[in-house]
Amino acid sequence: MIIEKLKVEDIPELLKLYNSLIPFETSLEKSLRTYKEMLLDENYLLLVAKQHDLVIGSVLGICCKCLAVSFLVIEDVIVKDGLRGKGIGRTLIDSLDEFAKKKQCAYAILVSSAYRKDAHKFYENAGFTDSVVGFRKLY
């Protein structure tokens, strides 16, 4: 398994993986535009885990800055069904931890749907705590 930055040719495969995680429709064209924008911003890191040139996992980290501290927002953590529990997600999170340290982030935050109990156990094992309450507003 290798962890690397997303490449344009991996986007169609990643979008298929996202279908099991994100309930929003997207087009390849829109995703390509967004990817190009992300490449121009050094505070974005979109990683994929690959095995035999196939995308088997992914994670997005965004370093946000406020006047007091920088912090990392983690989104779209996903490992292909059937491959979870094999260290892929942990390796992706560890890679984001390194990115956060380079960016001098004070902490990382993420949200997870309440019903995703297995994901919550994974996050706790990766060092996250549930000592905050998160809210989301959809547009």
Q: Under CATH, what is the fold of the domain 2-125?
A: Aminopeptidase (3.40.630)
* pLDDT of 138 strictly over 80: no
Of 39-43, 69-73, 133-137, the least confident = 133-137
Indicate whether 51 pLDDT > 80: yes
State mean pLDDT over 67-71: 95
Q: In angstroms, rounded to a whole number, what is the distance separating the alpha carbons of residues 100 and 104? A: 6
**How high is the pLDDT of residue 95?**
97
Return the biggest CA–CA distance within the chain: 43
Q: What is the pTM of this model?
A: 0.89
